[in-house]
Amino acid sequence: MADWVLHVDMDQFIAAVEVLRRPELAGLPVIVGGRGDPTERAVVSTASYEARAFGIGSGMPLRIAARKAPDDAVFLPVDHEAYEAASHEVMTALRSLPGVVLEVIGWDECFLGVESDDPEQVARDAQTAVREATGLHCSVGIGDNKVRAKIATEFGKPRGMFRLTAANWFEVMGKKPTRDLWGVGPKVQKRLATHGINTVRQLADADQQDLVAEFGPRMGVWYRDLGEGIGPAIVDDTPWVARSHSRETTFQRNLTTAEEVEAAIRELAASAFDDCAAEERAVVRVHLKVRYAPFETKTFGRKLAEPTLDRDQVVAAALELGGTLDRDREVRLLGVRAEMTMPDDADTAERTPVRGRI
């Protein structure tokens, strides 16, 4: 028997959970985002396959989605608690499979590590376990490592499975654009293109030193290996621990004064700090995200002088970042993210009392 990595990805997870709760929505274009009001500023969290047929996708402003949507489209508010509960049921069902190691990587996806001479049967067992426990459907990618398993899932959607290994990697992926690789976004794709690298095969054949010069010693090697589908193969069932907490708000009316921006940053930073303090983990870095009108987004960050469990220090760091914003531009979104010490290096948090809590 061989060792396999399976990537389980729930099909249209959030929309599917909503349809389970409201069976009358089955077959309709369902769009979930914000408070479910397409006249408000918010983005699509997910869209059902019926809605995707009209060009509606995750991250799209609800107002644009509303213009694309047909008359029978249904807009629903985000319900985090319902999705977390459904996710828990999915992962519990998968953990019940004999001989598997499960690594959660999101609400709606995970890796399974298994030793088997028939990984397709394991995939079918996983789909059956999820469907019987929750009524939801999933797709499964089968690979000899995490990279290939993750990419394979896209070829199995919806409700199917696909095997992608070293044996068929270039046959399947060789002519695909580099954007189809897990971990290559539009910016990296453009940087690769400046070197004449447009396909997966071209990336695999690229000179590693050229990639190192462009992306640095770690990422240059990573992207070169990615072209060959090389990646980690160990599935780790260690419980996932958040590295940061963030709070973000899209304002229904643009902020136009420095006082409004400062007040919003202060509130967001305090809330992000409280989420970290609830875990008794110190904050080490603060990030500020701003979206200027009409839709230009920028992110700034700074490392704190030392890990802290003092709310005032975290708020002050966020406000200092806020001082670098362009005061002549209207602001439609702000977000504050606080990075924390990880459990293994949180000695400071264990010894330092929390101050400034409301």
User: Is 109 a known active-site residue?
Assistant: yes
The token pair at 73 is 């489209």
DSSP 57: -
Can you list the positions of beta strands (E) in the chain?
Answer: 2-10, 30-32, 46-47, 74-76, 101-106, 109-116, 138-143, 161-164, 244-255, 283-292, 296-308, 331-340
Q: What phi, psi does 221 have (nearest 5°)?
A: -65, -40
Measured CA distances, 11 to 26, 50, 353 (Å): 14, 13, 44
Given the residues 109, 154, 262, 279, the one annotated as active site = 109
Sheet strand arrangement including 2-10: 101-106, 109-116, 2-10, 138-143, 161-164
Task: Identify which of 259, 263, 271 has the alpha carbon closest to the alpha carbon of residue 311.
Answer: 271
The separation between CA 20 and the C-alpha centre of its own chain, rounded to angstroms, equals 23
Write the DSSP string, 267-282: HHHHHHHHHHHTTT--
| The residue type at 177 | P
| Catalytic residue ranges | 109
